[in-house]
Amino acid sequence: MSKSTDATYFAARAKAEIRKATEAKLRGENKATIALHAELAVRYQAKALRLQRH
């Protein structure tokens, strides 16, 4: 995979995790589950941004 493809992949994963966090919150799931998805979204987004810069 190229760096741009990798960045696109991680950006898409970040969006998916944001969606999962939102859906978990709407379902009333526990805060740990919501926080896990939110944290993964941040990590994937950071990875995507790091790859875009280099």
pLDDT greater at residue 27 or residue 53 = 27
Prediction pTM value: 0.87
- Interval 19-47: pLDDT, tens: 999 999 999 999 999 999 999 999 999 99
Domain boundaries, the chain: 3-53
Q: What phi-psi label fits residue 29: left (phi over 0), alpha (psi between -120 and 50 degrees) or beta?
A: beta
- Model confidence band, residue 8 (pLDDT cutoffs 50, 70, 90): very high
- Model confidence band, residue 54 (pLDDT cutoffs 50, 70, 90): confident
Predicted pLDDT of residue 2: 72
Angle CA(11)–CA(50)–CA(35) in degrees, nearest 5? 55
